[in-house]
Amino acid sequence: MRCWRLILVALAAGACALAGCNGASPAQPTASLGPLAAQGQRLFNQNCATCHSLASDTIIVGPSLAGVATRAGTRAPDLDARQYIEMSILKPNAHVVKGFSDLMPKDFGEKLTSEEFDALVAYLLTLK
């Protein structure tokens, strides 16, 4: 298991180095976000921004999350946007985006508290 994590970290670091991260910086706090979504934005910066860009034309390791709130509702016929985003965090191998490998860590449900999970989902739902 530890070896797998090292491989994922190395892949993420290598992809970031090759892409130069396109000069993209983590999402900056937005005054229009409510407290829960603002907390989710901080969690995104800490946990997700290494692999997921918020620029629509930028791929770091995983797919860009620009517009994810709009796309999420169309990705699985039996899930609305919230359900799809929640599933993507808790069981990321359930719906892997075409063209990407199943590299997302499977333990965010264990690492995040329920409040943190709700905050992250609330933030991702603002990305229309």
Q: What is the CATH number of the domain that holds 38?
A: 1.10.760.10
pLDDT at residue 45, rounded to an integer: 98
* AA letter at 43: L
Q: What pLDDT score was predicted for residue 2?
A: 42
> Which residues lie closer than 8 Å to 42 by C-beta, 6 or more apart?
29
How many Å from the N-terminal Cα to the C-terminal Cα in the chain? 35
Answer whether residue 28 shows pLDDT above 90: no
pLDDT band at 106 (very low <50, low <70, confident <90, very high): very high
Percent of the residues in the chain that have a pLDDT greater than 90, as a whole number: 74
Structural domain harbouring 44: 2-124
Over the Cα atoms of the chain, what is R_g? Answer: 14
DSSP output for 79-111: --HHHHHHHHHHSTTSSPPTT--S-S-S-HHHH
Other C-beta atoms closer than 10 Å to the C-beta of 40 total: 25
User: What is the average pLDDT across 78-96?
Assistant: 97
**Is this model's pTM higher than 0.75 or not?**
yes
pLDDT (average), residues 78-103: 96
What pLDDT band is residue 71 in, cutting at 50, 70 and 90? very high
